[in-house]
Protein backbone atom coordinates (compact mmCIF):
# COMPACT_ATOMS: atom_id res chain seq x y z
CA UNK A 1 0.00 0.00 0.00
CA UNK A 2 1.47 3.37 -1.03
CA UNK A 3 -1.33 5.75 -0.18
CA UNK A 4 -4.31 5.92 2.15
CA UNK A 5 -7.18 8.35 2.65
CA UNK A 6 -8.74 8.34 6.12
CA UNK A 7 -11.68 9.83 8.00
CA UNK A 8 -10.86 10.82 11.60
CA UNK A 9 -13.99 11.50 13.68
CA UNK A 10 -14.61 14.50 15.89
CA UNK A 11 -14.89 13.49 19.54
CA UNK A 12 -16.59 14.66 22.71
CA UNK A 13 -14.24 14.32 25.68
CA UNK A 14 -15.08 14.25 29.41
CA UNK A 15 -18.82 13.58 28.81
CA UNK A 16 -19.62 15.73 31.88
CA UNK A 17 -18.51 13.57 34.82
CA UNK A 18 -15.45 11.91 33.23
CA UNK A 19 -12.88 14.73 33.11
CA UNK A 20 -9.85 13.38 31.17
CA UNK A 21 -11.26 9.86 31.55
CA UNK A 22 -14.17 9.48 29.10
CA UNK A 23 -14.92 10.32 25.49
CA UNK A 24 -16.97 9.30 22.49
CA UNK A 25 -16.66 9.60 18.71
CA UNK A 26 -19.17 11.21 16.35
CA UNK A 27 -20.14 9.47 13.13
CA UNK A 28 -21.23 12.54 11.16
CA UNK A 29 -18.34 14.96 11.72
CA UNK A 30 -14.61 14.58 11.20
CA UNK A 31 -11.51 15.37 9.15
CA UNK A 32 -10.27 13.80 5.94
CA UNK A 33 -6.56 13.16 5.48
CA UNK A 34 -4.46 11.66 2.71
CA UNK A 35 -1.07 10.02 3.34
CA UNK A 36 1.29 9.16 0.51
CA UNK A 37 4.54 7.23 0.92
CA UNK A 38 7.65 8.95 -0.46
CA UNK A 39 11.22 7.74 -0.92
CA UNK A 40 12.83 10.67 0.88
CA UNK A 41 12.26 9.56 4.54
CA UNK A 42 11.00 13.11 5.14
CA UNK A 43 7.54 14.01 6.51
CA UNK A 44 5.95 16.93 4.64
CA UNK A 45 2.57 18.58 5.15
CA UNK A 46 1.74 19.47 1.55
CA UNK A 47 -1.84 20.77 1.84
CA UNK A 48 -4.05 22.10 4.65
CA UNK A 49 -7.63 23.14 3.96
CA UNK A 50 -10.24 24.46 6.40
CA UNK A 51 -7.91 25.77 9.12
CA UNK A 52 -4.88 27.96 9.62
CA UNK A 53 -2.35 25.41 10.88
CA UNK A 54 1.45 25.19 10.55
CA UNK A 55 2.98 23.40 7.57
CA UNK A 56 6.25 22.65 9.44
CA UNK A 57 6.07 18.97 10.36
CA UNK A 58 7.54 19.59 13.83
CA UNK A 59 4.84 22.14 14.64
CA UNK A 60 1.89 20.28 13.13
CA UNK A 61 0.26 17.55 15.23
CA UNK A 62 0.01 15.21 12.22
CA UNK A 63 3.67 15.78 11.39
CA UNK A 64 4.76 15.15 14.99
CA UNK A 65 2.88 11.82 15.19
CA UNK A 66 3.97 10.69 11.71
CA UNK A 67 7.65 11.41 12.43
CA UNK A 68 7.47 9.62 15.76
CA UNK A 69 5.93 6.50 14.24
CA UNK A 70 8.28 6.34 11.25
CA UNK A 71 11.22 6.68 13.63
CA UNK A 72 9.88 4.09 16.10
CA UNK A 73 9.21 1.54 13.35
CA UNK A 74 12.48 2.31 11.52
CA UNK A 75 10.46 2.77 8.35
CA UNK A 76 12.34 3.16 5.06
CA UNK A 77 9.92 5.74 3.63
CA UNK A 78 8.75 9.31 4.17
CA UNK A 79 5.26 10.81 3.90
CA UNK A 80 3.38 13.57 2.14
CA UNK A 81 0.27 14.52 4.13
CA UNK A 82 -2.82 16.43 2.97
CA UNK A 83 -5.25 17.62 5.65
CA UNK A 84 -8.87 18.67 5.19
CA UNK A 85 -10.19 20.06 8.49
CA UNK A 86 -13.97 19.98 8.61
CA UNK A 87 -14.31 21.49 12.07
CA UNK A 88 -12.26 24.21 13.69
CA UNK A 89 -9.32 23.94 16.08
CA UNK A 90 -10.23 25.27 19.52
CA UNK A 91 -13.81 23.99 19.19
CA UNK A 92 -13.71 21.42 21.99
CA UNK A 93 -14.47 18.68 19.47
CA UNK A 94 -11.05 17.09 19.42
CA UNK A 95 -9.56 18.82 16.40
CA UNK A 96 -5.94 18.14 17.34
CA UNK A 97 -6.93 14.63 18.42
CA UNK A 98 -8.47 13.94 15.00
CA UNK A 99 -5.22 15.02 13.32
CA UNK A 100 -3.14 12.95 15.73
CA UNK A 101 -5.32 9.83 15.77
CA UNK A 102 -6.04 9.98 12.03
CA UNK A 103 -2.29 10.09 11.43
CA UNK A 104 -1.59 7.24 13.86
CA UNK A 105 -4.22 5.09 12.16
CA UNK A 106 -3.06 5.91 8.61
CA UNK A 107 0.65 5.45 9.26
CA UNK A 108 -0.09 2.11 10.93
CA UNK A 109 -1.97 0.96 7.84
CA UNK A 110 0.98 1.99 5.65
CA UNK A 111 3.26 0.03 7.99
CA UNK A 112 1.14 -3.11 7.56
CA UNK A 113 -0.78 -2.85 10.88
CA UNK A 114 2.28 -3.13 13.07
CA UNK A 115 0.66 -1.58 16.16
CA UNK A 116 -2.53 -2.21 18.19
CA UNK A 117 -5.12 0.39 19.29
CA UNK A 118 -3.42 0.99 22.64
CA UNK A 119 -0.05 1.69 21.05
CA UNK A 120 -1.69 3.96 18.46
CA UNK A 121 -3.34 5.89 21.29
CA UNK A 122 0.08 6.36 22.92
CA UNK A 123 1.53 7.74 19.68
CA UNK A 124 -1.46 10.04 19.19
CA UNK A 125 -1.12 11.32 22.78
CA UNK A 126 2.25 12.77 21.78
CA UNK A 127 0.32 14.87 19.26
CA UNK A 128 -1.80 16.17 22.14
CA UNK A 129 1.39 17.12 24.00
CA UNK A 130 2.43 19.13 20.94
CA UNK A 131 -1.02 20.75 20.72
CA UNK A 132 -1.74 21.66 24.34
CA UNK A 133 1.16 20.55 26.48
CA UNK A 134 -0.66 17.64 28.17
CA UNK A 135 -0.69 13.94 27.25
CA UNK A 136 -4.48 13.60 27.41
CA UNK A 137 -6.01 10.37 26.12
CA UNK A 138 -9.78 10.91 26.16
CA UNK A 139 -10.16 12.47 22.68
CA UNK A 140 -7.47 10.45 20.92
CA UNK A 141 -8.61 7.12 22.37
CA UNK A 142 -12.22 7.82 21.29
CA UNK A 143 -10.91 8.73 17.83
CA UNK A 144 -8.89 5.49 17.57
CA UNK A 145 -11.34 3.03 19.17
CA UNK A 146 -14.65 4.67 18.17
CA UNK A 147 -17.77 4.56 20.37
CA UNK A 148 -17.45 5.44 24.06
CA UNK A 149 -14.19 4.83 25.86
CA UNK A 150 -13.00 5.00 29.45
CA UNK A 151 -9.38 5.87 30.20
CA UNK A 152 -9.26 3.59 33.25
CA UNK A 153 -5.59 4.36 33.89
CA UNK A 154 -2.93 6.68 32.48
CA UNK A 155 0.07 4.91 34.06
CA UNK A 156 0.07 2.34 32.60
CA UNK A 157 -2.35 3.41 29.89
CA UNK A 158 -5.52 1.29 29.94
CA UNK A 159 -8.40 2.08 27.59
CA UNK A 160 -11.75 0.34 28.05
CA UNK A 161 -14.28 0.48 25.18
CA UNK A 162 -17.81 0.87 26.60
CA UNK A 163 -20.82 -0.59 24.75
CA UNK A 164 -23.29 2.12 23.77
CA UNK A 165 -27.02 1.89 23.03
CA UNK A 166 -27.53 2.47 19.29
CA UNK A 167 -30.41 4.93 19.87
CA UNK A 168 -28.13 7.38 21.68
CA UNK A 169 -27.69 10.57 19.59
CA UNK A 170 -25.57 13.66 20.21
CA UNK A 171 -26.56 17.25 19.45
CA UNK A 172 -23.67 19.70 19.47
CA UNK A 173 -23.57 23.47 19.33
CA UNK A 174 -20.25 25.10 18.53
CA UNK A 175 -20.20 28.85 19.27
CA UNK A 176 -17.49 30.16 16.95
CA UNK A 177 -15.24 31.55 19.64
CA UNK A 178 -11.94 29.86 20.35
CA UNK A 179 -11.07 28.50 23.78
CA UNK A 180 -7.56 27.06 23.98
CA UNK A 181 -7.43 23.76 25.86
CA UNK A 182 -4.31 24.97 27.63
CA UNK A 183 -6.25 27.95 29.03
CA UNK A 184 -9.38 25.95 29.87
CA UNK A 185 -7.27 23.49 31.86
CA UNK A 186 -5.97 26.31 34.04
CA UNK A 187 -9.43 27.09 35.42
CA UNK A 188 -10.10 23.52 36.61
CA UNK A 189 -9.38 23.28 40.36
CA UNK A 190 -6.23 21.35 41.25
CA UNK A 191 -7.80 19.84 44.35
CA UNK A 192 -11.40 19.03 45.24
CA UNK A 193 -13.08 18.06 48.53
CA UNK A 194 -13.65 14.33 49.04
CA UNK A 195 -17.42 15.00 49.10
CA UNK A 196 -17.18 16.39 45.55
CA UNK A 197 -15.00 13.47 44.44
CA UNK A 198 -17.58 11.00 45.78
CA UNK A 199 -20.36 12.68 43.82
CA UNK A 200 -18.22 12.73 40.68
CA UNK A 201 -17.03 9.12 40.71
CA UNK A 202 -20.52 7.92 41.58
CA UNK A 203 -21.74 9.61 38.40
CA UNK A 204 -18.98 8.03 36.30
CA UNK A 205 -20.10 4.63 37.60
CA UNK A 206 -23.70 5.53 36.85
CA UNK A 207 -22.92 6.69 33.32
CA UNK A 208 -20.98 3.55 32.49
CA UNK A 209 -23.67 1.34 33.99
CA UNK A 210 -26.33 3.23 32.05
CA UNK A 211 -24.42 2.83 28.78
CA UNK A 212 -23.96 -0.91 29.35
CA UNK A 213 -27.58 -1.47 30.32
CA UNK A 214 -29.10 0.91 27.76
CA UNK A 215 -30.75 2.66 30.73
CA UNK A 216 -31.41 6.17 29.36
CA UNK A 217 -32.66 7.59 32.68
CA UNK A 218 -29.49 6.46 34.42
CA UNK A 219 -27.37 7.95 31.61
CA UNK A 220 -29.20 11.27 31.98
CA UNK A 221 -29.06 11.33 35.79
CA UNK A 222 -25.30 10.71 35.65
CA UNK A 223 -24.42 13.50 33.21
CA UNK A 224 -23.38 15.93 35.94
CA UNK A 225 -19.95 17.52 36.31
CA UNK A 226 -18.94 18.98 39.67
CA UNK A 227 -15.25 19.37 38.72
CA UNK A 228 -14.66 21.25 35.44
CA UNK A 229 -18.05 22.63 34.40
CA UNK A 230 -18.64 25.11 37.26
CA UNK A 231 -15.53 27.13 36.23
CA UNK A 232 -15.38 26.37 32.53
CA UNK A 233 -18.99 27.30 31.83
CA UNK A 234 -18.12 30.90 32.71
CA UNK A 235 -16.02 30.98 29.50
CA UNK A 236 -19.00 29.91 27.34
CA UNK A 237 -21.70 32.47 26.45
CA UNK A 238 -25.27 31.34 27.23
CA UNK A 239 -24.19 27.96 28.67
CA UNK A 240 -26.95 27.79 31.29
CA UNK A 241 -29.65 28.89 28.83
CA UNK A 242 -28.58 26.29 26.26
CA UNK A 243 -28.55 23.62 28.94
CA UNK A 244 -31.99 24.52 30.24
CA UNK A 245 -33.53 24.73 26.76
CA UNK A 246 -32.02 21.42 25.66
CA UNK A 247 -33.21 19.62 28.80
CA UNK A 248 -36.72 21.07 28.30
CA UNK A 249 -36.63 19.71 24.74
CA UNK A 250 -35.89 16.20 25.94
CA UNK A 251 -32.10 16.01 26.38
CA UNK A 252 -30.99 13.34 28.83
CA UNK A 253 -28.16 15.64 29.87
CA UNK A 254 -26.03 18.53 28.61
CA UNK A 255 -22.40 19.40 29.18
CA UNK A 256 -19.28 21.04 27.81
CA UNK A 257 -17.64 19.12 24.98
CA UNK A 258 -14.00 18.66 25.98
CA UNK A 259 -12.56 21.99 27.01
CA UNK A 260 -15.30 23.94 25.17
CA UNK A 261 -16.72 26.16 23.81
CA UNK A 262 -18.85 23.44 22.16
CA UNK A 263 -21.70 22.07 24.24
CA UNK A 264 -23.17 18.60 23.75
CA UNK A 265 -26.53 17.07 24.59
CA UNK A 266 -27.30 13.36 24.55
CA UNK A 267 -30.78 12.12 23.78
CA UNK A 268 -32.71 9.02 22.80
CA UNK A 269 -33.38 8.93 19.07
CA UNK A 270 -32.89 11.27 16.13
CA UNK A 271 -36.27 13.05 16.46
CA UNK A 272 -35.46 14.28 19.95
CA UNK A 273 -31.90 15.21 18.92
CA UNK A 274 -33.27 17.45 16.15
CA UNK A 275 -35.72 19.10 18.55
CA UNK A 276 -32.79 19.87 20.84
CA UNK A 277 -30.91 21.35 17.87
CA UNK A 278 -33.89 23.70 17.29
CA UNK A 279 -33.87 24.73 20.95
CA UNK A 280 -30.14 25.48 20.75
CA UNK A 281 -30.68 27.52 17.56
CA UNK A 282 -33.37 29.57 19.31
CA UNK A 283 -30.91 30.62 22.04
CA UNK A 284 -27.95 31.37 19.78
CA UNK A 285 -29.66 33.05 16.83
CA UNK A 286 -30.38 36.03 19.10
CA UNK A 287 -26.85 36.12 20.51
CA UNK A 288 -24.93 37.80 17.71
CA UNK A 289 -22.32 35.03 17.95
CA UNK A 290 -21.75 32.78 14.92
CA UNK A 291 -22.34 29.12 15.65
CA UNK A 292 -22.65 25.71 14.03
CA UNK A 293 -24.95 22.91 15.13
CA UNK A 294 -24.38 19.20 14.46
CA UNK A 295 -26.63 16.22 15.09
CA UNK A 296 -24.78 12.91 15.02
CA UNK A 297 -24.99 9.28 15.96
CA UNK A 298 -22.18 7.86 18.05
CA UNK A 299 -19.57 6.43 15.68
CA UNK A 300 -19.12 2.68 16.10
CA UNK A 301 -15.63 2.89 14.59
CA UNK A 302 -12.74 5.23 15.09
CA UNK A 303 -10.50 6.58 12.32
CA UNK A 304 -11.10 4.53 9.18
CA UNK A 305 -10.08 4.32 5.52
CA UNK A 306 -12.37 6.02 3.00
N1 LIG B 1 -10.12 16.24 28.78
C2 LIG B 1 -9.56 17.38 28.11
C3 LIG B 1 -9.97 18.64 28.83
C4 LIG B 1 -10.11 17.42 26.73
O5 LIG B 1 -11.14 18.74 29.22
O6 LIG B 1 -9.13 19.51 29.03
C7 LIG B 1 -9.51 18.49 25.89
O8 LIG B 1 -8.50 17.96 25.10
User: Do 68 and 211 belong to one domain?
Assistant: no
> Would you say residue 79 has pLDDT above 90?
yes
Whether residue 304 is contained in a domain is answered as no
Rounded to whole angstroms, the Cα distance separating 178 from 201 reads 30
Same domain? 158 vs 181:
no
Q: Is 302 part of any domain?
A: no
Q: Give 191's pLDDT tier (boundaries 50, 70, 90).
A: very high
Whether residue 18 has its Cβ less than 6 Å from ligand 1: no
Q: pLDDT (tens digit, 9 = 90+) per residue, 7-65?
A: 999 999 999 999 999 999 999 999 999 999 999 999 999 999 999 999 999 999 999 99
Look at residues 131, 187, 166 and name the one whose alpha carbon lies nearest to residue 268.
Answer: 166
**Does residue 184 share a domain with residue 140?**
no
The answer to whether residues 182 and 153 belong to one domain is no
The overall average pLDDT reported for the chain is: 97
Find the domain containing 183 and state its range: 168-297
**Residues above pLDDT 70, as percent of the chain:** 100
**Structural domains in the chain (count):** 2
The CATH number of residue 289's host domain is 3.30.70.890
* CB of 229 shorter than 6 A to ligand 1: no
Residues 198 and 282 in one domain: yes
Q: Which residues are the active-site residues?
A: 128, 181
The confidence band for 201, taking pLDDT boundaries of 50, 70 and 90, is very high
182 CA from centroid of ligand 1 (Å): 9
Q: What is the pLDDT of residue 132?
A: 87
- Do 43 and 101 reside in the same domain of the chain? yes
Above pLDDT 90, what percent of the chain?
Answer: 96
Cα 38 to averaged position of ligand 1 atoms, centre (Å):
34
Same domain, residue pair 136 and 9: yes
Torsion angles phi and psi, residue 296, rounded to 5: -150, 145
The model's pLDDT over 243-261, given as tens digits with 9 standing for 90+, comes to: 999 999 999 999 999 999 9
Interval between CA 256 and ligand 1 midpoint (Å)? 10
pTM for the predicted model, two decimal places: 0.96
62 and 142 assigned to the same domain: yes
> Which residues have a Cβ under 8 Å from the Cβ of 17 and sit 6 or more positions away?
200, 203, 204, 207, 222, 223, 224, 225, 226
20 within ligand 1 shell (Cβ under 6 A):
yes
Answer whether 181 contacts ligand 1 (Cβ < 6 A). Answer: yes
Give me the DSSP letters along 253-279.
Answer: EEEE-TTSS-EEEEEESHHHHHHHHHH
Same domain? For 41 and 175 the reply is no
Is the distance from CB of 105 to CB of 5 less than 8 angstroms? no
Amino acid sequence: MNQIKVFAPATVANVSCGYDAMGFALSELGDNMVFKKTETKVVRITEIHGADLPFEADKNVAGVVAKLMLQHSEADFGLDIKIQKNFKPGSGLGSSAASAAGTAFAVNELLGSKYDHLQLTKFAMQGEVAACGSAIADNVAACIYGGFILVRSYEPLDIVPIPTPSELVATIIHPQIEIKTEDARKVVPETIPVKTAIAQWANVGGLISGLYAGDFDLIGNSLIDYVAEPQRKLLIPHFDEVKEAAIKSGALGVGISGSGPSMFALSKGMFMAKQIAEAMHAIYEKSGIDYAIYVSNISKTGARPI
